[in-house]
């Protein structure tokens, strides 16, 4: 269930102390502006009169200016970026977001929206002194239609809380990310988050039915229809999905929730080579049909380093590749039979060398936990260059061996894992320590290669602060110009999440 406000505020005060201790005892990441040599744009600077104004529309407790209180909002999840904001605002409703933006627009004050701050491309933290908006207090569920499955809620609802809420009513959230315990539905919408079951439930452009958002000048755009079909002119909600807070701030969403599957089965298989993974994927689609809900892969190095570092159990022996196949359906016996038949057929053909199939919740959890830990194991020794790319399936894994060769023994591990069903591979290059030298071996090389393979340089994490200079590898000039024209139209003063997504030159 969603926590009542009182509890959240109470928690906030308690966590303050531990946070101060945490940040004092850790080396802070270098300032993003220095690390990436960025010039501050010509925005206004915050005066005490601005802070007084914010305190007049929110209340005192929802305007943070103490350096220690503000610090966590300046640092991103992977501790790669650090901004210099001095003010954090915590609006409680759309009207407050509107009043804040209207004022900031008039004063040319830049703003940075922050959801769960789990974003991986530096989009959710300021670069200079942008005012941070924390959406956590906008966590109310407005309605749930248990016949259509339409859920309407505020942007700051935590994905996991929403999932628990709708599950009690026989539904599930259409997405399930590794970061679900902290990411917000508004942050998800703004990044068009993908996740583990996109293969089955589609991406957010399909499952978000409606959006309410606030433009830079404070105008509230109401596209919050909870209809599956609505062809009345331009599909404006899509402008806010995936635009990472650069065109407007998402305040509410209407999401279409699928039915909670009665039967869930999971298989974990060892496979000899990547070519066999593709054959297996084709076979899974044909054998399992509409119940196939996830088809994930990981190479040996991904699994081995996760298993070793985190002391997790691997349910099967060592293989060059692993595949995870999940089904969501309505009939336990029927679905289990389908999956077992698929397993025996492909063990006989040799595509699967070893494997296990289970419908027992605790065993499924062990397997999913292993898969999800690859992305956020946290216990890596060294610095990770992390890439999130889409590549047409026939070339899906090509880059991993190419990079292994290119970086040679400068890297501790080069590994690949991801969502085969979506053509999305995550590549980690772990080195002992960040250095400009190794960075320049990898970038822009990897983006050039992705571009040559007709892929996308950002499959799900977005462009954020880290990748605007590489966006041209995946978007042509005319498309980039149209993005700039839209930005100019919706945010003429450029106050919404500056230094993100759009490159300075086209
Ligand atoms: C362990 C782990 C696993 C992950 N797995 C996946 C995965 O499987 N698939 C995937 O796609 N991503 C994944 N991510 C990335 C990340 O969780 C997603 O991008 C997520 O959608 C971000 O949500 P958030 O609420 O944390 O947003 P934040 O990180 O706070 O913000 C993300 C972007 O959205 C903007 N923003 C936030 N809220 C709003 C709002 N209300 N209005 C306008 N703009 C806003 C921010 O300015 C920023 O640019 C993972 C991250 C981690 C740490
Ligand atoms: C945003 O505010 C909420 C509730 O007030 C808090 O729990 C959360 O930690 C804050 N975000 C950050 C990055 O501190
Ligand atoms: C939001 O994104 C996170 C992380 O990518 C994911 O785990 C979660 O399922 C998403 N939430 C929704 C409602 O899609
Ligand atoms: C598995 O990982 C451990 C720890 O990272 C490493 O020492 C070992 O060499 C790896 N095994 C293989 C076969 O690469
Ligand atoms: C991949 O990179 C992420 C983010 O840096 C890290 O948390 C994770 O442990 C890495 N996983 C592997 C297997 O290298
Ligand atoms: C990429 O697309 C172009 C144009 O459609 C095509 O000519 C080329 O062969 C493709 N490249 C690869 C590696 O598939």
Computed from CA positions of residues 248, 250, 251, 256, in that sequence, does the dihedral angle turn out positive or negative?
Answer: positive
Ligand nearest to the CA of 419: 1
- Distances in Å between the Cα of 225 and the Cα atoms of 163, 208, 209, 249, 353 are 21, 10, 7, 17, 49
Ligand 6 mutation pick, 396, 423, 454, 455, max ligand atoms within 8 A of CB: 454
CB atoms within 10 A of CB 433: 7
Does residue 78's CB lie within 6 angstroms of at least one atom of ligand 5?
A: yes
C-alpha triplet 74, 79, 84: angle, nearest 5°: 25
pLDDT of residue 382: 84
Q: How far is the CA of 60 from the centre of ligand 3 (A)?
A: 31
Ligand nearest to the CA of 71: 2
Take residue 1 and report the two structure tokens written for it.
């269930």
pLDDT tens digits for 302-350?
A: 999 999 888 888 999 999 999 999 999 999 989 988 998 999 999 999 9
C-alpha–C-alpha distance, residues 277 and 270, integer Å: 10
C-alpha–C-alpha distance, residues 246 and 248, integer Å: 6
pLDDT of residue 75: 97
| DSSP label of 472 | G
C-alpha–C-alpha distance, residues 120 and 118, integer Å: 6
pLDDT of residue 194: 85
Count of positions (residues) in the chain:
506
Does residue 245's CB lie within 6 angstroms of at least one atom of ligand 1?
A: yes
pLDDT of residue 196: 83
pLDDT of residue 4: 31
One-letter-per-residue 3-state SS of 41-104: CCCCCCCHHHHHHHHHHCCHHHEECCHHHHHHHHECCCCCCECCCCCEECCCCHHHHHHHHHHH
Q: How far is the CA of 453 from the centre of ligand 6 (A)?
A: 7
Please list the ranges in the chain whose pLDDT falls under 50: 1-25
Does residue 78's CB lie within 6 angstroms of at least one atom of ligand 6?
A: no
One-letter-per-residue 3-state SS of 283-339: HHHHHHHHHEEEEEEEEHHHHHHHHHHHCCCCCCCCCCEEEEEEEEECCHHHHHHHH
Ligand nearest to the CA of 386: 5
Q: How far is the CA of 84 from the centre of ligand 4 (A)?
A: 40
C-alpha–C-alpha distance, residues 450 and 469, integer Å: 15
Residues whose beta carbon lies within 6 Å of some atom of ligand 4? 304-305, 308
Q: How far is the CA of 416 from the centre of ligand 3 (A)?
A: 21
Closest CA to ligand 3's atom 7: 177
Q: What is the set of domains in the chain, with CATH numbers? A: 2-6+263-366 (3.30.70.2190), 40-134 (3.30.43.10), 141-256 (3.30.465.10), 382-464 (3.30.70.2740)
Ligand 3: atom nearest CA of 204 is: 14
Name the residue among 218, 209, 215 with its Cα closest to residue 238. 209
Do residues 150 and 173 lie in contact, with contact meaning Cβ atoms separated by under 8 Å? no
Q: How far is the CA of 381 from the centre of ligand 4 (A)?
A: 13
Does residue 194's CB lie within 6 angstroms of at least one atom of ligand 1?
A: yes
Q: How far is the CA of 392 from the centre of ligand 6 (A)?
A: 10
Ligand nearest to the CA of 453: 6
Task: Spell 176-185 as b/e; 16+ CB within 10 A means b.
Answer: bbbbbebbbb
Q: How far is the CA of 13 from the centre of ligand 3 (A)?
A: 27
């Amino acid at each position: 269930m969603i926590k009542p406000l009182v509890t959240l505020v109470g928690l906030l005060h308690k966590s303050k102390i531990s946070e101060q201790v945490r940040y004092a005892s850790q080396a802070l990441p270098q300032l993003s502006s220095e690390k990436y040599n960025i010039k501050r744009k010509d925005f206004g600077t915050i005066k005490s009169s601005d802070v007084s104004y914010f305190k007049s529309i929110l209340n005192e407790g929802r305007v943070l200016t103490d350096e220690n209180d503000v610090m966590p909002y300046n640092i991103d999840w992977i501790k790669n970026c650090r901004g210099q904001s001095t003010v954090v605002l915590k609006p409680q409703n759309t009207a407050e977001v509107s009043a804040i933006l209207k004022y900031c627009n008039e004063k040319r004050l830049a703003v940075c929206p922050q959801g769960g701050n789990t974003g991986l491309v530096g989009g959710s933290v300021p670069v200079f002194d942008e005012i941070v908006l924390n959406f956590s207090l906008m966590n109310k569920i407005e309605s749930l239609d248990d016949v259509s499955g339409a859920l309407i809620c505020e942007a700051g609802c935590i994905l996991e809380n929403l999932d628990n809420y709708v599950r009690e009513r026989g539904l599930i959230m259409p997405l399930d990310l590794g970061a679900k315990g902290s990411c917000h539905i508004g942050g998800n919408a703004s990044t068009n988050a993908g996740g583990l079951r996109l293969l089955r439930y589609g991406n957010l452009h399909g499952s978000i039915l409606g959006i309410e958002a606030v433009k830079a000048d404070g105008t509230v755009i109401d596209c919050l229809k909870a209809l599956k079909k609505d062809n009345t002119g331009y599909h404006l909600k899509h402008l806010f999905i995936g635009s990472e807070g650069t065109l407007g701030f998402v305040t509410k969403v209407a999401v279409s929730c699928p039915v909670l599957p009665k039967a869930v089965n999971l298989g974990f298989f060892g496979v000899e080579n990547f070519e066999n993974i593709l054959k297996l994927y084709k076979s899974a689609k044909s054998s399992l049909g509409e119940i196939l809900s996830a088809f994930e892969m990981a190479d040996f190095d991904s699994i081995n380093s996760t298993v070793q570092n985190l002391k997790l159990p691997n349910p099967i022996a060592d293989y060059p590749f692993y595949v995870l196949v999940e089904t969501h359906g309505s009939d336990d016996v029927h679905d289990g039979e389908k999956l077992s038949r698929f397993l025996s057929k492909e063990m006989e053909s040799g595509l699967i060398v070893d494997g296990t199939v289970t419908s027992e919740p605790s065993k499924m959890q062990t397997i999913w936990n292993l898969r999800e830990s690859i992305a956020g194991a946290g216990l890596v020794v060294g610095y990770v260059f992390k890439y999130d790319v889409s590549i047409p399936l026939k070339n899906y894994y090509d880059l991993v061996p190419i990079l292994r060769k290119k970086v040679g023994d400068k890297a501790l591990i080069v590994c690949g894992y991801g969502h085969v069903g979506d053509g999305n591979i995550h590549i980690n290059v772990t080195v002992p320590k960040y250095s400009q030298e190794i960075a320049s071996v990898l970038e822009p090389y990897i983006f050039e290669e992705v571009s040559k393979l007709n892929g996308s340089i950002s499959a799900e994490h977005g462009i954020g602060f880290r990748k605007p200079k590489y966006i041209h590898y995946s978007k042509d000039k005319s498309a980039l110009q149209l993005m700039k024209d839209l930005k100019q139209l919706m945010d003429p003063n450029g106050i919404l999440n500056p230094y993100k997504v759009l490159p300075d030159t086209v």
